[in-house]
Homo-oligomer: A and B are copies of this chain.
Amino acid sequence: MVKLYLVRHGIAAEREEYTEDALRPLTSEGKQKTKQVAQQLFKLGLRFDLILTSPLVRARQTADILKAIGLSSQLEESTHLTPEGDIYSWLTWWEEWHQDVNSLALVGHEPNLGEWTEILVWGEAKGNLVVKKAGVIGVQLPKDGSPVGRSLLFWLTPPKFLL
């Protein structure tokens, strides 16, 4: 049984301030709240074999904070997790990679993370999950076979219920 934790990036600078969306960093409030969330996850005993993150600055900074707090020693960027990424290309990666792994964190964007969760748990995305910035989702993937529509949702929390 593999546990997948989907973490949305923290509060980032406004779009108007940056010509390139990919370069928007976390605000100081975003960094602070993300750090508090990471500390709480650590305190709850969570550890990840790997953190896979969108390479966009606001996501990468979020993933760096998770790693710095001690949630994982492994961090990789993946284009599957950009706003343009799709779950089926990620699943191809997953199927090759998931041997010998117990827990994996994905750091990325909305609406992707909520929709991926819906696809894993119910087989299709309706956009009916509320995933706040620095919010966390927990999904249990089956050990064998496709996880699409066969995974279990065990956690969904906004940061305010975690702090």
Binding site for B on A (CB under 8 A): 44, 118, 121-122, 126, 128-130, 140, 149-158, 160-162
A129 neighbours in B (Cβ, 8 Å)? 121, 152-154
Oligomeric state, in copies: 2
Give the one of A121, A140, A149 with max B CB within 10 A: A121
Check A154 against B158 for contact (C-beta < 8 Å).
yes
A152 neighbours in B (Cβ, 8 Å)? 128-130
A contact face: mostly helix, strand, loop, or mixed = mixed
19 contacts between A and B (CB under 8 A): A118-B122, A121-B126, A121-B128, A122-B122, A128-B150, A128-B151, A128-B152, A128-B153, A129-B152, A129-B153, A130-B140, A130-B152, A130-B153, A130-B154, A154-B156, A155-B156, A155-B158, A156-B157, A157-B161
